[in-house]
Each structure stands twice: as structure tokens, then as C-alpha cells.
Amino acid sequence: MAHQEFGETIRRKRLSAGLTQATLAKHADISRQAVAAIESGAYLPNVSIALKLARAFGTSVEDIFGPRSRSVCRSAMEGIAIGHD
């Protein structure tokens, strides 16, 4: 369900900004297919893509992910740290 909630948030922000999927993809330096997959809930972006989306919207990752963003980001960073040990 988190994937769908995140995707819906991205879709709402994109539409509110008057952007197409292609335009958002260009601003975030990702593919239009990635935007479509995120919005449909098929894909939850990694931290790098979440940062690109936040920059494209002129906001923070926390604003996009909502109140659970700190735990999501912390888990992602722990996974990165574990992977490099």
C-alpha cells in the first residue's frame, strides 16, 4: 500500500504543478516510464530518485514521503551502510 500512496502523492504533485509525466521525468532526470511506474504504485523509488523528484518539485523528500519519511530514509541508509561493510 505504501507504493500506491507514494505514487498518488507524486501524481497529485505533478498535476498540481501542471506537468506531464514526460516533463517531470525531464526535470528529475529519470525516464517517463519510471514516473509512470512510480505513479501506478509498481515501483517505490530509491533514495537517489526520491531526491531527484523532490528537487524537480522544489520541495524536500520529507514532503513527498510524508510523516514516515524519516524511517524510510533511515532504513534506506542503513541498507546502504550494511551493503558496504
Residue-wise pLDDT for 12-41, tens only, equals 999 999 999 999 999 999 999 999 999 999
Residue-wise pLDDT for 53-72, tens only, equals 999 999 998 888 776 555 55
Q: Which three cell numbers stand for residue 63?
A: 514532503
Domains and CATH numbers, the chain: 2-83 (1.10.260.40)
Angle, helices 32-40 vs 2-16, to 10°: value is 120
Note the residue count of the chain. 85
Q: What's the predicted TM-score (pTM) here?
A: 0.76
The span from the CA of 84 to the CA of 4, in Å, is: 30
Q: Helices H, strands E: what count in the chain?
A: 6, 0
Q: What pLDDT, on the 0 to 100 scale, is given for residue 5?
A: 87
The span from the CA of 8 to the CA of 85, in Å, is: 35
Q: What pLDDT, on the 0 to 100 scale, is given for residue 4?
A: 86
